[in-house]
Amino acid sequence: MRSEVTTEAMLSETMNANTVSVITGTPGGTYFRIGADIAFVLNDGDKIRVLPILGKGAGENAYDLRFLKGVDLGFVRTDTLDQLRQDKRLRDVDQRIHYIAKLFNDELHVIAPKGIDDVRQLAGKRVTFDVKGSGTDYSGRAMFRGLGIEVEALNVDQPTALEMLRKGEVEAVVSVAAKPVSVLAGFEPGDRFHLVTIPYLDTLSEAYVPATLTGADYPKLVDGGRPVETLAVGTILGVYNHSKGSERYRKLERFVAAFFGQFDKFLAPQRHPKWREVNLAASVVGWTRFRPAQDWLDAHRDEGAPQAEIERFLSEQPQDVAADKEQVYQAYLKWRRARQTSLGMARR
């Protein structure tokens, strides 16, 4: 702590002035791990501290972000504003919640007995959608409605749901989360269960896109080498739109500068692989980007988004280069520093 911090009052003021909180997800889940990555990468003494908070998931996170005092950031989804607009108690949700960046996609997983080959065969069956208020609870149900499938929906936690599936008490378990989902990957299906194919239909919301699940993602749940078709919904780093000039607005300005400015650190091998899907410049239809985030992107537009840089770097590598993640990452950083140096010299 800085030497000028000499009293309890000053210590309290310093700590609160530089801490932002992010509502994540359940222990061990993708949101929890992504929140931990943000904290590990960006925490910088008394300059900035990110405090991850356990949450239920994207569905409840939207309300936490809107109403809980002290919650600055939260992982929500591209369909979150639609969810909030349906709540007649709420007003001006578009002005209250903005986004800093679109992060990655969360895939729809449906585990069922092997006799069920298409998700539409689950019509009228007992199906679990994780705990009430979770992202699966909202997005999963909305996806099923878009597919025209009516089921008997239950809300139980995922480990309990998988045990109920094993005992035959439910016909399927639904999870909307970033692959690979650890609790699903650890499930022992034997020769009884698998991931079910889910078609992409025109009746679905534009928030949902086609996706696939492969044997590399779930060796125990994908039959053979053929990918399983499914749907996905985008995860967003949401932010409460505080008044410009307020203390919390200024803290979030510092967070944005640190998050965008140090983004290449999230691409290190020890960080969650979903970071490699992120394109910071990607826009989200129907959402408003937080002004400090838009200003940062406008000021650094000629530098390119990290994902675009990675694709350009990989395209320049020999085809027979060894696929060692650490070596590739270190080579990328060296290439990026050299490119930034050349850009700096060109500007002079």
| More confident of the two residues 346 and 195 | 195
Distances (CA, A) of 321 to 150, 316, 324, 325, 336: 50, 11, 9, 11, 18
Q: What is the mean pLDDT of residues 144-157?
A: 96
Q: Is pLDDT larger for residue 84 or for residue 212?
A: 212
**Taking a C-beta distance cutoff of 8 angstroms, is the pair 79, 108 a contact?**
no
Backbone angles phi, psi at 259, to 5 degrees: -65, -50
- Token couple for 100: 């800093």
pLDDT for res 152: 98
3-state secondary structure of 106: strand
pLDDT band of residue 92 (cuts 50, 70, 90) is: confident
Q: What is the pLDDT of residue 225?
A: 75
CA torsion through residues 174, 177, 179, 184, sign: negative
Distance (Å, whole) CA 153 – CA 127:
5
Does the structural domain 8-104+235-300 have CATH classification 2.40.50.100?
no
Residue 242: DSSP 8-state:
P
61-68 long-range contacts, CB within 8 A, separation 24+? 61/23, 61/24, 61/25, 61/31, 61/135, 61/238, 62/97, 62/238, 63/133, 64/23, 65/23, 65/97, 65/238, 65/239, 65/240, 66/90, 66/93, 66/96, 66/97, 66/240, 68/23
Highest mean pLDDT among 10-19, 252-261, 308-317: 252-261
Where exactly are the structural domains of the chain?
8-104+235-300, 105-234, 307-346
Q: Fold match between 8-104+235-300 and 105-234?
A: yes
* 326 has pLDDT over 60: no
Does residue 221 carry a pLDDT above 80? yes
Is CATH 3.40.190.10 the classification given to domain 105-234? yes
For residues 324 and 306, give the distance between their C-alpha atoms in angstroms, rounded to a whole number.
20
- Alpha-carbon distance 78 to 58, whole Å? 10
* Close Cβ partners of 91 (under 8 Å, ≥ 6 residues apart): none
Give the residue, 99 or 3, on which the prediction is more confident: 99
- Model confidence at 94, pLDDT cuts 50, 70, 90, reads confident
Residue 290 pLDDT more than 80?
Answer: yes
For residue 322, the model assigns a pLDDT of 46
Mean pLDDT of 141-155: 96
pLDDT of 329 reads 55
Residue 330, SS3 per DSSP: helix
Q: What is the mean pLDDT of residues 294-322?
A: 67
Average pLDDT, the chain: 86
Estimate the crossing angle of helix 247-261 against helix 30-42, to 10 degrees. 90
pLDDT at residue 306 greater than cutoff 60: no
In whole angstroms, give the CA distance from residue 44 to residue 59: 30
Report CA dihedral (245, 249, 252, 253) to the nearest 10 degrees: -20
Ranges of H-type helices in 158-210? 158-167, 182-185
Please determine, for residue 299, whether its predicted confidence score (pLDDT) is greater than 90: yes
Pairing of strands 228-240, 172-177: unpaired
In this structure, which amino acid lies at residue 140? G
